[in-house]
Structure 1
Amino acid sequence: MAGTVVFDLDGTLADTSGDLVAAANACFRARGLGDLLDPVGDALTAFHGGRAMLRAGYGRMGPDHLLPPGAEDEDFNLLLGHYGASIAVHTTLYPGVMETLDRLAGDGHILSICTNKPEALAHQLLGALGIADRFAAMIGADTLPVKKPDPRHYRAAVEQAGGEVARSFLVGDTETDRKTAAAAGVRCVLVGFGPEGEAITRLAPDALLAHFDALPDLARDWLGQEEGGRCPPSP
């Protein structure tokens, strides 16, 4: 059976921080707080999700501002709406993504997505970026009752794509991805071109990816390559 390469989405395949921060700032402006987050300085926070951005912003409110009960839940729902309406204004794929996905598929590998982004938004973003058809499966935050770092989330991303967990690995960008891979018993590659840069080595990934160009060779080392780039028949 072919090997499976499972990708996180935000901060791994695409830099989505600008649009995520813009959605959070729209919520803050609606409360008269102004833009509390910086698209560059708060990029790492953006990759930890909507609630992380909201809490970071709330922590910067002046002493004259008080939030009403339930404000975070209300703002989180508003954030998702703002984000869905402008999901790919600033977002771009990281260099080499398209070519690498094509090379991996040409080598016979199955490709899948395992993200803590809500499923509908993840599908919307993949379509906007023109890469939805590259993946055999996509598991989002609300696809299952669990999400990363629960290993069941990862296993579903592999198995729904038609792969085997034992012949798979995860490409991600955060501690959540590292913990997910460890829980699932698979190798983990972390990208070194996100907000943390090479400092991400603090998480001791099995490999650090400086550029997507290096991923096909790594996949061949870890998963092998089918002769002529074709997948073998199932036994």
Structure 2
Amino acid sequence: MRLKERGFGMKTVIFDLDGTLADTSRDLICAANACFSRAGHGDLLDRVADAATAFRGGRAMLTLGYDRLGLGAAEVERDYPYLLEWYGENIDTHTVMYPGAVAAVERLRSGGYAVGICTNKPEGLAETLLTRLGVRSLFASLIGADTLPVKKPDAAPFVAAVEQAGGEVTRSLLVGDTVTDRETSRAAGVPSLLITFGPSGRGVADLAPEGLLDHYDDLDREVARLIG
């Protein structure tokens, strides 16, 4: 009987995408600013200072920008479809994988781990971005914000990503960068490993994850420590 049939699925590492595997902030900010410019307001977000908000999603960026003008939800919902359209057409202009990320994922695969992605980016956009970056084939699963009726921090998308990759939740962990990822791991009852090289830096330690990742060169060691 194979291990999976006996309930011993592969050890699995699930990654968030934006701000964890790839620095997508600049293209996301540009998409939000395109919305503001179309509405006659010019660029309302800064590519560096507002990078952390970019990793919280399109509506968060629009909300931040319109809050600065004293505007609100109506403008956000009006512009959100255009943001997705503009971003989809310019999705990889500035985006790059973080240093060492590709090699680290390849090492995990070679070491017998299943790897996948659980993101709050719409699934179609995530597919497009990963394909254009040339890394889609590295991941056995991809669950996006609209794959299921719920998204992170609900545990269901993470569980689906693990199962789609052929893994077992009790032998898995989530690599992420935000409180959303931390809450998702708690909901799923698994360890979280949060990166420290994003906009929040080592401030993510305040979220009390089971591990911190300072560079992808250290991923193998941290994964082995957390799930063996």
TM-score (norm 1): 0.91
| Aligned counterparts of 1:180 and 1:220: Cα–Cα separation in 2 | 21
Q: What residue number does 2:161 align with?
A: 157
Q: What residue number does 2:45 align with?
A: 37
1:148 equivalent among 143, 152, 156: 152
Deviation of the 1:216 alpha carbon = 1.1
Deviating beyond 3 angstroms after TM superposition, the runs of 4 or more aligned structure 1 residues are none
Q: Which residue identity lines up with residue 92 of structure 1 in the other structure? A: V
Q: Which residue identity lines up with residue 133 of structure 2 in the other structure? A: L
Q: Which residue identity lines up with residue 178 of structure 1 in the other structure? A: R
Deviation of the 1:221 alpha carbon = 2.7
Deviation of the 1:71 alpha carbon = 2.5
Deviation of the 1:12 alpha carbon = 0.1
| Aligned counterparts of 1:56 and 1:73: Cα–Cα separation in 2 | 13
Q: What residue number does 1:115 align with?
A: 119
| Aligned counterparts of 1:220 and 1:201: Cα–Cα separation in 2 | 20
1:200 equivalent among 201, 204, 210: 204
Cα deviation per residue 1:162-217 (whole Å; 9 max; x = unaligned)? Answer: 11000100000000000000000000000000001011101011000000011112
- 2:186 corresponds to 1:186: no
| Aligned counterparts of 2:19 and 2:87: Cα–Cα separation in 1 | 16
CA RMSD of aligned residues (A): 1.2
Percent of aligned pairs with the same amino acid:
56
Give the 3-state SS of the residue equivalent to 1:9 in structure 2.
coil
Q: What residue number does 1:20 align with?
A: 28
Cα deviation per residue 1:118-157 (whole Å; 9 max; x = unaligned)? Answer: 0000000111111100000100000000100101111001
| Aligned counterparts of 1:28 and 1:199: Cα–Cα separation in 2 | 30
Tell me which structure has the larger Cα radius of gyration: 1
Give the 3-state SS of the residue equivalent to 2:167 in structure 1.
coil
1:57 equivalent among 53, 65, 78: 65
Deviation of the 1:220 alpha carbon = 2.3
Q: What residue number does 2:93 align with?
A: 89
Deviation of the 1:54 alpha carbon = 0.3
Give the 3-state SS of the residue equivalent to 1:111 in structure 2.
strand
Q: What residue number does 1:227 align with?
A: none
TM-score (norm 2): 0.94
Contact 2:15–2:176 (CA under 8 A) maintained in structure 1 = yes
Aligned length: 220
Q: What residue number does 1:71 align with?
A: 75
| Aligned counterparts of 1:117 and 1:176: Cα–Cα separation in 2 | 13
